[in-house]
Amino acid sequence: MLNTERIQKVATVMGSEEIDALFVSASSDLEYLTGLTPIDDERFKGICIYSDGSFFALTPKLCLDEFKEDLGDDVDIFAWSDEEGPLKAISQAFTKYGVPGLLGVNDSVKASHILPVSEEHGLKLKNARTVVAAVRMHKSEEEIDLLSKNGALADEVLKQIATFIKPGLSERQVQAKLVEIYESLGGEEVGAGPSAGSNSALPHYNKFTGVIEKSDVLRLGFGARFKGYCSDTTRTFFIGEPTEEQRKVYAIVLEAWMAGESVVKEGVRACDVDRAARGVIEKAGYGEFFPHRTGHGIGIAEHELPDISATDQTVLKKGMAFSIEPGIYLPGKFGVRIEDCVTITEKGAQSFTDFPRELIVL
């Protein structure tokens, strides 16, 4: 559904960055502002917002009915045919709304789409991927409630999948079962990434061809959408009694998660959370085996701003939501990651998921 309040907030951010107009193509940004979820294909489509809050929509004619349904009758929609291409429709829109001096583009706008527009109208372009993101970072109470409800579903998924996992199952079977469970609870677009044994040492492993064996480490990361909002969580299970080294590594990662969570409050920076979690792992001598940021924002997309990384200076505020997910990955051996998403309240961090983080042997 079209959300003019959000569009006005985006226009305010544009003004502060001296951006005259902003093209937002098919993406989670477009969904956030308009409710539109068109197919992201080779055809140029989206909305163009001006710094005064006015805006128009651009769409190929084959998506026109979809745009009309979601945007309503009061929004100017400039439609183009495959034979014409989009340049004529954009020129008509610029004639009515004005040719922007500085045009921002979000990260979904393809160069093949925007460069001809720039050449046609002599536009100066700016990477404006953070403009809508700056508004999306600040979640409303309704958004936090949906994230919380999805987190509760993720807790139930973990409870059920833990009773299913056993030696002899393939990673693909675990993945399918997890999707089945989440969908039965109302989750949509479920993504699951089980990694067993040495595969768990690959942070973004996605082949899912392994088989769970006795004494394996099983890292299980997954997420889904629920009423438009995402979950993202990871637990590491032990199939049989863990070794001394595995217990040690798990304890370090758990301490790192708790250290990151403990510093979350209004006024600290995103990089301070990363530093707190990473410092634990580095002090234990495993810094080189923690190759990714500590977390990422979450909302209608699984990965949003802020980045909980060493370089993100964003000052955290109430209503922001993000993951805390430290990990240690020992090549050829095993990997451990613990992940939960939290929001900031007056009292600090509040997790959307409550499934136990302590070491669990299945």
Q: What is the pLDDT of residues 156-204, one digit of tens each?
A: 999 999 999 999 999 999 999 999 999 999 999 999 999 999 999 999 9
Query: Taking residues 58-68, what's their average pLDDT?
Result: 96
Helix (H, G, I), strand (E, B) or coil at 121: helix
Domains of the chain and CATH, by start: 4-136 (3.40.350.10), 141-361 (3.90.230.10)
In the predicted model, is pLDDT for residue 45 greater than 90?
Answer: yes
- pLDDT for 316: 98
Query: Taking residues 24-30, what's their average pLDDT?
Result: 97
Query: Taking residues 121-141, what's their average pLDDT?
Result: 97
CA 120 to chain centre: 35
Helices 141-164 and 171-184, packing angle to 10 deg: 130
Q: How confident is the model at residue 264 (pLDDT cuts 50, 70, 90)?
A: very high
Query: Taking residues 307-331, what's their average pLDDT?
Result: 98
Q: How confident is the model at residue 1 (pLDDT cuts 50, 70, 90)?
A: confident
Who contacts 12 (Cβ-Cβ below 8 Å, separation ≥6)? none
- pLDDT for 308: 98
Alpha-carbon distance of 148 to 160, in angstroms, equals 19
Alpha-carbon distance of 305 to 315, in angstroms, equals 12
Question: pLDDT tens digits, residue range 207-230?
Answer: 999 999 999 999 999 999 999 999
DSSP symbols for 206-245: -----B--TT-EEEEEEEEEETTEE--EEEEEESSSPPHH
Closest CA to 77 of 102, 60, 95, 99: 60
Q: How confident is the model at residue 82 (pLDDT cuts 50, 70, 90)?
A: very high
